[in-house]
């Protein structure tokens, strides 16, 4: 009989544990005294340790079932405060859920969003349509490739000529794992661009909860060689010959 009571108690706890998940996402379940995470959003570099504290309630959860749902790490409870710790965050898509039961089968809960980031392994720049000298007034496409970066929706790629920013590109993706992405920008070089330094930069904008200095990786510089087109060269030669003939006839 004692064993059956223990088994029944375990079943009830599992029932409540499963139930709070569906209640948490139900927009009708609005509680006046919700759990509060500190910080409210975790931004963690992949493989780093992290932690957060949940104050389950101010007063309404006392003497009630409280808990923390997580996919990894450990938790410790002191009164109505639950601390979640992860020694090494290796999951790309994770979160934590803090909850308590009230009014029999209802739950009050708060989810802690977790952003796991990975700076680019490498950033490179190249001309897609030509490896030789650039011709004046022709269109060329710069391609900046960013390798193994996460999350992609936080990535901003900037193109530069010297210290001047030429363009920016952003990406939209729900994928959490590292990906390789490429951005492009068209240029029309002039004679003044001969010797110009082109380069690109990949930056992760992770918001106010992210690191003080956002992760930035730059490409190597490409030095441009610009020359006049064939027709313009011929025009210049003819003009020079004409001027010389004109001076001789004077």
Asked if pLDDT for residue 59 goes beyond 60, the answer is yes
Q: For position 78, what pLDDT does the model report?
A: 93
Q: Which domain holds residue 31?
A: 23-117
pTM of the model: 0.77
Q: Are residues 109 and 143 in the same domain?
A: no
Asked if pLDDT for residue 229 goes beyond 70, the answer is no
Residue 7 lies in a domain: no
Q: For position 188, what pLDDT does the model report?
A: 92
**CB-neighbour burial class of residue 142 (10 A; exposed 0-12, middle 13-18, buried 19+):** buried
pLDDT tens-digit series, residues 189-202? 999 989 999 999 99
Q: Are residues 162 and 198 in the same domain?
A: yes
Confidence of residue 24 (pLDDT cuts 50, 70, 90): low
DSSP E strand stretches across 128-239:
134-135, 140-149, 155-161, 164-170, 179-187, 197-204, 216-218, 222-223, 226-227
Q: Are residues 210 and 186 in the same domain?
A: yes
CATH code for the domain in which residue 126 is found: 2.60.40.10
Dist CA 193 CA 199 (whole Å): 14
Q: For position 151, what pLDDT does the model report?
A: 96
Q: Are residues 98 and 137 in the same domain?
A: no
Q: Which of 86, 117, 148 is the last residue of a domain?
A: 117
pLDDT tens-digit series, residues 99-142? 998 776 778 899 999 999 999 999 999 998 877 788 998 899 99
Q: What are phi and psi of 193, to 5 degrees?
A: -85, 0
Asked if pLDDT for residue 148 goes beyond 50, the answer is yes
Torsion of CA 80, 86, 90, 93, to 10 degrees: 10
Question: Are the CB atoms for 135 and 227 separated by under 8 Å?
Answer: yes
């Amino acid at each position: 009989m004692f064993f059956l009571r223990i088994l029944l108690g375990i079943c009830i706890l599992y029932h409540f544990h499963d139930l709070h998940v569906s209640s948490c996402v139900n927009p009708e379940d609005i509680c006046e005294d919700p759990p509060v995470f500190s910080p409210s959003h975790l931004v963690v570099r992949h493989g780093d340790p992290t932690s957060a504290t949940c104050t389950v309630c101010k007063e309404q959860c006392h003497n009630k079932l409280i808990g923390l749902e997580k996919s990894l790490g450990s938790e410790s409870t002191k009164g109505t405060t639950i601390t979640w710790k992860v020694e090494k965050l290796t999951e790309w898509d994770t979160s934590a859920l803090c909850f308590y039961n009230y009014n029999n089968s209802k739950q009050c809960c708060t989810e802690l969003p977790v952003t796991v980031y990975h700076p680019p392994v490498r950033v490179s720049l190249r001309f897609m349509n030509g490896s030789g000298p650039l011709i004046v007034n022709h269109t060329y496409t710069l391609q900046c490739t960013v390798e193994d970066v996460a999350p992609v929706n936080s990535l901003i790629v900037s193109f530069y000529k010297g210290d001047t920013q030429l363009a920016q590109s952003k990406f939209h993706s729900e994928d959490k794992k590292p990906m390789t992405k490429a951005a492009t920008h068209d240029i029309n070089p002039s004679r003044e661009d001969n010797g110009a330094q082109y380069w690109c930069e990949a930056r992760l904008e992770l918001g106010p909860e992210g690191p003080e200095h956002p992760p930035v990786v730059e490409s190597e510089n490409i030095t441009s060689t610009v020359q006049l087109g064939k027709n313009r060269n011929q025009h210049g030669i003819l003009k020079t010959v004409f001027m010389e003939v004109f001076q001789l006839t004077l």
